[in-house]
Amino acid sequence: MPKLTIDNLEVTVPDGTNVLEAARELDIVIPHFCYHEALGAVGSCRLCAMMFVDGPVKGLQMACMVQAQDGMVVSSTDPDAMELREHVIEWAMINHPHDCPVCDEGGECHLQEMTVAGGHGVRRYSGKKCTFVNQDLGPFVQQEMNRCITCYR
């Protein structure tokens, strides 16, 4: 049962818990896309970056990919971690259409929440966006691939 310190708060978690889940035990929700408890850790979105200040692992790491260990000291508010999270959101939004007003997901959208959580606001990219051709999945499912941010969840 490793004991670790996240944002100056101590927590003890079962063996095999990753740091993202350990933070959630403390009601600290680290922004993340590709991680889901039912699907496991993927490590591709790069959003859940935290700074591992002390302990067996050091440096900027993805919280969902690192197993909690005794003596870890982790920070979610480290400037480098926050800067990376802001950039990951900006990157995810680069190809995302400005569809919020007409999109069904609006108001209950994980991307909207992560954008606000990440601190991204003003769009700097003024180039062309990638577009996709939608697949025909039958009369009951409508695909809108232009909105996909390939978060790999």
Partner 1 sequence: MNAYTQVLFKNRRPNETVLLPEYEKNGGYQGLRAAMKMPPAEVCELVKGSGLRGRGGAGFPTGIKWSFFPADQPGDKYLVCNGDEMEPGTYKDRQLLLADPHQLVEGMAIAAYALQTQIGYIFLRYAYEDCFQRLERAIEEAVEAGYLGENILGSGFDVELHVHGSAGRYILGEETSQLNGLEGRRPNPRSKPPFPAQRGLFGRPTNVNNVETLATVPHILTHGTAWFQALALNPESAGTKLFGLSGHLNRTECFELPLGITLREVVEDFGGGVRGGKKFKACLPGGASTPYLTTDHLDVMMDFNPLEEAESRLGTAGVTVFDEDTCMVAVTRNLNQFFARESCGWCTPCREGLSTISWLLDRIEFGRATNDDLTMLKDQVKNIKGRSFCALAEGAMGPVEALLRLYEDEIKDHIRKGCCPFN
**Which residues of this protein are in contact with partner 1, per CB under 8 A?**
43-47, 49, 60, 65, 83-84, 87-88, 91-92, 94-95, 124-125, 127, 150-152
Q: Which of 126, 132, 124, 135 is nearest to 149 (CA)?
A: 132
Question: Would you give the DSSP letter of residue 136?
Answer: -
Nearer to partner 1, 4 or 84 (CB): 84
Q: Least CB distance from residue 97 to partner 1, whole Å?
A: 15
Nearer to partner 1, 44 or 112 (CB): 44
**Cα→Cα distances 59→7, 50, 63, 72, 98, Å:** 15, 8, 11, 11, 35
Q: How far apart are CA 148 and CA 137, in angstroms?
A: 16
Nearer to partner 1, 104 or 113 (CB): 113
Q: Least CB distance from residue 10 to partner 1, whole Å?
A: 27
